[in-house]
Chain A
């Protein structure tokens, strides 16, 4: 069984400030970890993913996340927020193999960026 917890359903930052969205997971097997973003009236878009190898993963739009096994975390960061980053962000986990695409999601975090 696996689960994902996103700490904070709403996060508000100022433009230019650091963005930190928290994600903790539980998994009985080595996890595959994902961050997705959803803009209004659009589908979810993959920001980045961790499968194996380097634990610091860089994604699109300047986002990155670090897999920390000891902390069972996969927090998403961006050094400087932009107004266009305002969206809902989802952390997800899968078990890989034939279940790679079977994603278990967190509850989502709505990011608001203030001018």
Chain B
């Protein structure tokens, strides 16, 4: 069974540009989470999808970030326009159902904004 995959693994862009990160959860997993780790800081929750609906987006930093989950399958996280402070590693995770299902993490996308 394939794990959670993320694309790209690395992205280097200039301030003001747009970047779209993609996450493919484990097939059949209803729950999808995005997290971010800024250099030297802790991993922070961004948002939670249940199927195609946003369950909790309390961690989204500001309106430059837009997350979508098409048809309840893969998810994208768009940053537009990117700022220097958006640099970090963006992790995606998925779990099967609500309740105490194990959360599986992808390898992350390392975003560098110059």
Interaction A to B:
yes
Cα distance A105–B105 when bound, in Å? 14
Minimal beta-carbon separation of A23 from chain B (angstroms): 12
Q: Which residues of B contact A10 (CB under 8 A)?
A: none
Q: Does A77 interact with chain B (Cβ within 8 Å)?
A: no
Cα distance A102–B91 when bound, in Å? 13
Q: Does A99 interact with chain B (Cβ within 8 Å)?
A: yes
Cα distance A44–B105 when bound, in Å? 5
Q: Does A42 interact with chain B (Cβ within 8 Å)?
A: yes
Q: Which residues of B contact A49 (CB under 8 A)?
A: 100, 102
Instruction: Name the CB-closest residue of B to A108.
Output: B42
Instruction: Name the CB-closest residue of A to B58.
Output: A102
The A20-52 residues at the B interface (CB cut-off 8 A) are 32, 36, 41-46, 49, 51
Cα distance A98–B101 when bound, in Å? 11
Interface string of B1-23 (1 = CB under 8 A from A): 00110000000000000000000
Cα distance A105–B108 when bound, in Å? 16
Q: Which residues of A contact B42 (CB under 8 A)?
A: 4, 105-108
**Is B91's CB under 8 angstroms from A44's CB?**
yes
Q: Does B111 interact with chain A (Cβ within 8 Å)?
A: no
| Contact size range, B | 20 to 34
Instruction: Output the residue of B35, B42, B44, B56 with the most chain A CB within 10 A.
Output: B42
Q: Does B66 interact with chain A (Cβ within 8 Å)?
A: no
Q: Does B69 interact with chain A (Cβ within 8 Å)?
A: no
**Contact partner, A100, options B43, B44, B99, B107, Cβ 8 Å:** B99
Q: Does A11 interact with chain B (Cβ within 8 Å)?
A: no
Q: Which residues of A contact B100 (CB under 8 A)?
A: 32, 49, 51, 96, 100
5 extra interface residue pairs, beta carbon distance < 8 Å, beyond A45-B105, A98-B98, A102-B33: A98-B55, A100-B101, A104-B45, A107-B41, A107-B42
Nearest first, the 8 closest Cβ-Cβ pairs linking A and B are A43-B105, A44-B105, A105-B43, A107-B42, A43-B107, A105-B42, A43-B106, A101-B103
